[in-house]
A and B are shown apart, each in its own frame.
Chain A
Amino acid sequence: MNHGQTQPATVKERSHIALNNEFLRKAVKFTTERLRNGKKKASEEHGNWEEWRERGKQIRLHTIAHLDYYLNQFVENARANGVHVHFAADGKEAVELSMKIAASKQAKSVVKSKSMVSEELHINHALEEMGIEAVETDLGEYIIQLAGETPSHIIIPAIHKNRYQIAELLSKEAGETLPADTSILAGFVRRKLREKFLEAEIGMTGCNFAIAETGSMVLFENEGNARMVSTVPKTQITLMGMERIIPTFADLEVMATLLPRSATGQKLTVYMSAITGPKRTVDGDGPEEMHIIIVDNGRSLQLGDPEFQELLNCIRCGACLNACPVYRHIGGHAYGGTYSGPIGAVLTPALQSNVAEWDDIANASSLCGACYEACPVKIPLHDMLVYLRNRKVEKGYGQTAEKIGMKGFAAIMSNSKRMRSVVKLGQIGQKLVVRQGLIKTKIGPLKGWNSVRYLPSLPNESFRERWDSLVQEVKNENSPMSEDIRTRMEQALKQRENGGRSHG
């Protein structure tokens, strides 16, 4: 979505736009397929993937359960390393802190490596208002910055654009027509960004992981731009979500196994930098001054909430987006927030504690569970989507028509005789609309369904009506039960008494 432009208010309207954009749908399908195939291959090759996932989950659960302890440890160690550590309760504070540092350095230019937190805070906008140039140096981020858009994917910000659209954008920047050849386009951006790295007074980064035992911050990237951002400018500002903590370097090994494989199918990320404080006298490079701003901005709302605390376990790999069949068709902007896909559908409303918006985005899911299956730390996003819908209803934000419908559902389904009568009514009433055994009308609630489908008609006899005659017919067909089957059934019963049957 373009900055400053108002986007449609509902996910339905926004997805309508996306569904009618063939370029977008093709580009998103192409890249998400590549990524999820890569993930599948990499996780199978690595082996014992389920055990790694479980290990990742346990590390994240433990850390978040003791977040106060590990945050303190991290801050103490980082300060001992000479880092200026700041806390920001919300986005506004984080922006103000960044601006203050920028002002004290009389900065005219900031180079940035990819950071979803900075997107969440809309920091580029704030920098530009102060007359400071903010340059994104991740290729995808650079592209969408030129286009005046926001990222439509957590790790592939320009996933919705194809190379011809990108060539057009970069040609405008270059002042000459560049061919839609990826190496030529990347070469142009590389040359352009070199100048920017050398000019900038401040380098701004995100943070993939923060290691409590050493006070180090760790960046995963593929282009080397984050390393430039964190070594060339004299001052470094790192924006870090307060949940990015892991206890030790040993835990980083697990994360380094899970993150690149889940994100892109890479065994290793191309550059992994662990930065422990500013440049020391013995160091050849690095910033002279280093700031870490630890951002809450709605995260602590999830702490202590049994239904949503696991959201803080997310390592921002984007695997749930790549696996999601809804994202596949509508892309990221349709979700309307900084974070898109299944994680965004839960995280965006959760961070804003905004009940009124909850149901809308949470409804854009068929609850198929592909997100949970893809998640390297096993966050039950499909359950959280239902919890969101439930909270909206509990707080009285349900839609009137739906409320009435659900009351009707309960009235019918709480009593089997009533259900039978309703089915009977349907069997008779449908005669008005059934043609060749099918219902094709597009009126009323059938409009959406029947726009691409037909509905089967109800047979004259429901199963419960059929039952009495069926049971008589089958009586004559019954074979005697074999010993083997009887034993197996009895064993199953016995096992159950001993608490033996586990679920899913």
Chain B
Amino acid sequence: MKVSLFITCLSDAIYPRVGEAMVRLLARYGVQVEFPKQQTCCGQPAFNSGYWDEARESARTLLAAFDDSDFVISPSGSCTGMIQHYYPKLFEKDPVMLEKSKRLQAKTYEFTQFLVQVLGVTDVGAVFPHKVTYHPSCHGSRLLGIKDEPMTLMQNVKGMELIPLPFAEDCCGFGGTFAVKMSEISAAMVSEKAQHVLETEAEVLVGLDMGCMMNISGNLMYQGKPVRVMHLAELLYEGVKLA
């Protein structure tokens, strides 16, 4: 069975450590992940801005890269959501690519979905003796319905104090190009989100989407606040090494 990593352009360029944690964690379950190098980006920045021709050009690289994979796993609920919800729309007038989109749609999983729903892993055996708070990213939780999976995984981490984030379900204000186009509104949103993170007095903020994490951590660093920001895959892998 061929399990392929869709790293996402953001984690590829800025957070390779997230992909590494996923690969190493899954290796512990005998899942050998492979990485088709022709992949680039899901096309969401262009799609969300209304530039669908441009989005299709980017999306085609994924359809080609994962054509013969059995499972495609990704560290982002947002990029997974793009494939799940919008690829069929994007290629609705192209029967060949539409068929490919539907196949990709059926085999793509966000990381915790794959771990919990497919592999049936709910306790990775991690130890993480820190105060942690969790931001549920909008696309993962709302478009894909990923709510219980990360919670179960986190509750089973030993020594970790999980502190509920106030207004957790509110968007952090990233929204891809939104943060640049509507920077003032986005700034208000991220400032409030960071404030809520600080209210929890957590040492670590964890999430499932590095776009949102980059946004919130960017503001926390700007404020000079030493909150560590991680993807859940990193936290779990680090915890496994500590155990």
Which residues of chain B are within 8 angstroms of A392 by Cβ–Cβ distance? 50
How far, in angstroms, from A367 to B182 measured CA to CA in the complex?
12
Which residues of chain A are within 8 angstroms of B188 by Cβ–Cβ distance? 19, 329
The proximity string for A residues 414-458 relative to B, scoring 1 for CB distances below 8 Å and 0 otherwise, is: 111001000100100000000000100000010111111111101
Interface majority SS (helix, strand, loop, mixed), chain B: helix
Q: Is A47 an interface residue (CB 8 A)?
A: no
Interchain CB contact under 8 A, B9 and A485: no
Q: Is B139 an interface residue (CB 8 A)?
A: yes
Q: Contacts A366-B171, A366-B173, A406-B46: A467 and B184 contacting too (C-beta < 8 A)? A: no
How far, in angstroms, from A211 to B158 measured CA to CA in the complex?
58
Closest to A480 in B: B30
The proximity string for A residues 371-388 relative to B, scoring 1 for CB distances below 8 Å and 0 otherwise, is: 011000000000000101
Q: Which of A366, A367, A455 has the most CB of B within 10 A?
A: A366
Q: Is B47 an interface residue (CB 8 A)?
A: yes
Closest to A25 in B: B188
Partner of A12, one of B1, B182, B192: B182
**Measured between C-beta atoms, what is the minimum distance from B124 to chain A in Å?**
12
Which residues of chain B are within 8 angstroms of A419 by Cβ–Cβ distance? 9, 40-41
Interchain CB contact under 8 A, B61 and A415: yes
Closest to B188 in A: A329
Which residues of chain B are within 8 angstroms of A373 by Cβ–Cβ distance? 142
**Measured between C-beta atoms, what is the minimum distance from B123 to chain A in Å?**
14
Q: Is A464 an interface residue (CB 8 A)?
A: yes
Partner of B119, one of A391, A412, A489: A489
**Measured between C-beta atoms, what is the minimum distance from B75 to chain A in Å?**
10
Which residues of chain B are within 8 angstroms of A343 by Cβ–Cβ distance? none
Q: Which of B84, B145, B183, B187 has the most CB of A within 10 A?
A: B183
How far, in angstroms, from A388 to B52 measured CA to CA in the complex?
12
Interchain CB contact under 8 A, B50 and A325: no
Q: Is B200 an interface residue (CB 8 A)?
A: no
Partner of B7, one of A453, A463, A480, A501: A463
Closest to B119 in A: A485
How far, in angstroms, from A471 to B26 measured CA to CA in the complex?
13
Interchain CB contact under 8 A, A423 and B12: yes
Name the interface residues of B10-64: CB closer than 8 Å to any CB of A. Answer: 11-14, 16-17, 19-20, 23-24, 27-32, 35, 37-41, 43, 45-54, 57-58, 60-61
Interchain CB contact under 8 A, B14 and A414: no
Interchain CB contact under 8 A, A453 and B175: no
Name the interface residues of B114-134: CB closer than 8 Å to any CB of A. Answer: 118-121
Interchain CB contact under 8 A, B175 and A492: no
Interchain CB contact under 8 A, B23 and A455: no
Q: Is B85 an interface residue (CB 8 A)?
A: yes
Q: Which of A88-96, A105-113, A357-365 contacts B (4 or more CB under 8 A)?
A: A357-365
Q: Is A269 an interface residue (CB 8 A)?
A: no
Which residues of chain B are within 8 angstroms of A493 by Cβ–Cβ distance? 1, 70
**Measured between C-beta atoms, what is the minimum distance from B152 to chain A in Å?**
16
How far, in angstroms, from A10 to B103 measured CA to CA in the complex?
42
Interchain CB contact under 8 A, B183 and A449: yes
**Measured between C-beta atoms, what is the minimum distance from B229 to chain A in Å?**
10
Which residues of chain A are within 8 angstroms of B9 by Cβ–Cβ distance? 413, 419
Interchain CB contact under 8 A, B173 and A467: no
Q: Is B93 an interface residue (CB 8 A)?
A: no
How far, in angstroms, from A409 to B142 measured CA to CA in the complex?
27
Closest to B58 in A: A413
Interface majority SS (helix, strand, loop, mixed), chain A: helix
Interchain CB contact under 8 A, B31 and A485: yes
Interchain CB contact under 8 A, A15 and B24: no
Which residues of chain B are within 8 angstroms of A464 by Cβ–Cβ distance? 7, 12, 35, 37
Q: Is B138 an interface residue (CB 8 A)?
A: yes
How far, in angstroms, from A402 to B70 measured CA to CA in the complex?
37
**Measured between C-beta atoms, what is the minimum distance from A308 to chain B in Å?**
14
Interchain CB contact under 8 A, B1 and A489: yes
Interchain CB contact under 8 A, B54 and A365: no
Interface residues on A, range: 35 or more
Q: Which of A412, A447, A464, A490 has the most CB of B within 10 A?
A: A464
Q: Is A5 an interface residue (CB 8 A)?
A: no
Q: Considering only CB atoms and an 8 Å cut-off, how many residues of chain B contact the other chain?
A: 88
How far, in angstroms, from A450 to B27 measured CA to CA in the complex?
38
Closest to B29 in A: A485
Interchain CB contact under 8 A, A492 and B222: no
Interchain CB contact under 8 A, B27 and A477: yes
Q: Contacts A409-B54, A449-B179, A452-B191: A461 and B16 contacting too (C-beta < 8 A)? A: yes
Interchain CB contact under 8 A, A363 and B181: yes
Name the interface residues of A383-410: CB closer than 8 Å to any CB of B. Answer: 386, 388-394, 398, 402-403, 406-407, 409-410
Partner of A504, one of B61, B120, B143: B143
Interchain CB contact under 8 A, B184 and A12: yes
Interchain CB contact under 8 A, A453 and B185: no
Which residues of chain A are within 8 angstroms of B181 by Cβ–Cβ distance? 363
Q: Is A368 an interface residue (CB 8 A)?
A: yes
Interchain CB contact under 8 A, B70 and A414: no
The proximity string for A residues 464-486 relative to B, scoring 1 for CB distances below 8 Å and 0 otherwise, is: 10110011001001111110111
Partner of A481, one of B29, B37, B81: B29
How far, in angstroms, from A256 to B134 measured CA to CA in the complex?
36
Q: Is B97 an interface residue (CB 8 A)?
A: no
Interchain CB contact under 8 A, B183 and A451: yes
Interchain CB contact under 8 A, A389 and B218: no
Which residues of chain A are within 8 angstroms of B35 by Cβ–Cβ distance? 463-464, 467, 471
Q: Which of A450, A482, A492 has the most CB of B within 10 A?
A: A492
Closest to B138 in A: A368
Which residues of chain A are within 8 angstroms of B217 by Cβ–Cβ distance? 456
Q: Is A100 an interface residue (CB 8 A)?
A: no
Q: Contacts A19-B188, A409-B45, A415-B61: A393 and B14 contacting too (C-beta < 8 A)? A: no
Contact sample, A vs B, 18 pairs, CB 8 Å cutoff: A15-B185, A19-B184, A325-B170, A364-B182, A370-B142, A389-B48, A390-B51, A406-B49, A410-B58, A448-B183, A449-B218, A452-B218, A452-B222, A458-B13, A459-B16, A463-B35, A503-B85, A503-B144
Q: Please name 11 further chain A to chain B contacts, defined as beta carbons within 8 Å, in addition to the given A19-B184, A398-B51, sorted by A numbering.
A: A325-B173, A329-B185, A366-B174, A393-B49, A403-B51, A415-B40, A452-B190, A453-B221, A454-B218, A490-B1, A493-B1
Q: Which residues does B use to contact A, with CB under 8 Å? A: 1, 7, 9, 11-14, 16-17, 19-20, 23-24, 27-32, 35, 37-41, 43, 45-54, 57-58, 60-61, 70-71, 81, 84-86, 105-107, 118-121, 138-139, 142-145, 169-171, 173-176, 178-192, 214-215, 217-219, 221-222
Nearest 6 CB-CB pairs, A to B? A448-B183, A481-B30, A366-B175, A453-B218, A389-B50, A368-B171
